[in-house]
Amino acid sequence: MTPTRRSVLRSALALPLAGAAAGCGTEDDAVTFFFQARPEEARARLRIIDEFRRRRPDIRIRTILSGPDPLQQMLTYCAGGKCPDVLMCWELLYAGLAERGVLLDLHTLLDREPRYAADLRRDGYRTLSDTFTYRGGRYALPEQWSGVFLYYNRKLFDRAGIRPPGRWWDAWTFDEFLAAARELTSRGGRERQWGFVDGWVPYFSAGCFGMNNGAEWFSPPMAPSRTTIGDPRFTEGVQFYADLALRHGVAPDVSDQQSVSAYDLFSGGRAAMLLGGHWLYSEFAAGDGLDFDVTVLPVGPHGGPGAVTDVGCTGLGIAAASPRREQAWEFVKFATGPVGQSIIAESGLFVPVLRSAMHSPQFAAAHRAVGNLQVFTDGPEHSRRIAVTPAWGKVEALLSRNCNRVLRGAAPADSLAGTAADIDALLRTRR
């Protein structure tokens, strides 16, 4: 997952949980593990570390909590010769680290253990594992999936007499989604009720609507040579998303979004549907009286037959310069393997990346609030990559600036064809 999927890390709260130094490079033999997490997520990771310590008392783990800019923090550490041994990797950010030689190609370790590698392929999801394979190298093993989908308020749907959205990954259409959002939007009374709110990054969300109208963001998604955001199918999906606020009034506009959070609107019963990822599940499940379920994004006239989502995956990599490579490898295998993934499944804070953990009774028990559990368990099979490129930072700057103009109503979505030419020029310089 990208850092923008989560609120800014409150590291001051999380660090004491780790019982570890706040920096790396201390003169001891501990494996340093760099990751970003909210406090409750940090606790789940510490459970994995504690179990690893119990089984491997010969290997010590020292945690390093990231600030809000993990990529810059990792580059700073590594440029100073103090790179952490194990690094959390985001699907949109790791390619730059791989290209700079920061990350170890894990093929060098996997090739020594063909039986383990075969078990990993059989129990994992190729969509996720391939996300961390860049230009022939494998730079991380997946550790969690999120994706994005729709949370919906059952009570509000029932009160409006609307049949809940389709189960599993069966598609419902843009028209069906808009009709439901209109019916669920109320302009009367002291507090307005919205049919739809966005709990993610709006221009990413708009792109997912384009993706569900049959278009890719980039071609190919891995080390892309060009963007397809100028494809009429993509721009039609982006325009549909923008018009939810601009034309139809079923979603907050930019100024409304600045005054109140989507999370507060949905958790307070003032929004019927919210676009977000699994990172919100535990907070909604803990809410008092919030009766919700999950479903997939709607599909446009050129998309389908089923809905899709973005990959939304993080992985664990090893620093190429690590002097504790072997010990780090043992920890990465554990955290991404059956035991570590079963702890993730039981926590309810993450979605595991192994089929055995995903379909376990522990994962189901941690998600009792959800009737449509297949949105999670089948999600990796319906995931599509946005882009894996070292140029992502500059590409995203162009995307955000020009997509946000569309979302504010300052330009139509087909104006993105002009942005595509600028992005293509950036991508060509990195090939």
| SS3 per residue for 74-112 | HHHHHHCCCCCCEEEEECCCHHHHHHCCCECCCHHHHCC
pLDDT at 190: 64
> What average pLDDT is seen over the chain?
90
Query: Quick check: 129 and 121 in contact, CB under 8 A?
Result: yes
User: Are 216 and 77 within one domain?
Assistant: no
Percentage of residues in the chain with pLDDT exceeding 70?
A: 92
- Measured distance CA(409)–CA(345) in Å, rounded: 42
In a domain, 378, yes or no: no
Q: Please state, as a whole number, how many other Cβ atoms lie within 10 Å of the Cβ of residue 19.
A: 10
pLDDT at 189: 61
In a domain, 115, yes or no: yes
> CA dihedral defined by 107, 337, 279, 4, rounded to 10 degrees?
-20
Greater confidence (199 vs 23) lies with 199
H/E run at residue 295? strand 292-295
| pLDDT over 50 at 236, yes or no | yes
Q: Please state, as a whole number, how many other Cβ atoms lie within 10 Å of the Cβ of residue 280.
A: 23
In a domain, 365, yes or no: no
pLDDT in tens, 214-235: 999 999 999 999 999 999 999 9
In a domain, 52, yes or no: yes
pLDDT in tens, 128-154: 999 999 999 999 999 999 999 999 999
Among 72-86, 112-126, 247-261, which is the least confidently predicted range? 247-261
In a domain, 364, yes or no: no
Query: Which whole number is the average pLDDT over 335-360?
Result: 96
pLDDT level of residue 385 (50, 70, 90 thresholds): very high
Total tally of structural domains belonging to the chain: 2
pLDDT at 164: 81
In a domain, 162, yes or no: yes
Among 27-31, 120-124, 153-157, 368-372, which is the least confidently predicted range? 27-31
Token digits for 395?
């590409």
pLDDT at 25: 41
Rounded to two decimals, what is the model's pTM?
Answer: 0.91
- Measured distance CA(194)–CA(184) in Å, rounded: 7
Residue 64 belongs to domain spanning: 3-146+311-358
Q: Which one, of 153, 148, 252, 242, lies nearest residue 200 by Cα?
A: 148
Query: Which whole number is the average pLDDT over 271-290?
Result: 92
In a domain, 363, yes or no: no
User: Are 330 and 399 within one domain?
Assistant: no
| pLDDT over 50 at 18, yes or no | no
Percentage of residues in the chain with pLDDT exceeding 90?
A: 79
User: Are 271 and 395 within one domain?
Assistant: yes
Greatest mean pLDDT among 162-176, 187-201, 236-250: 236-250
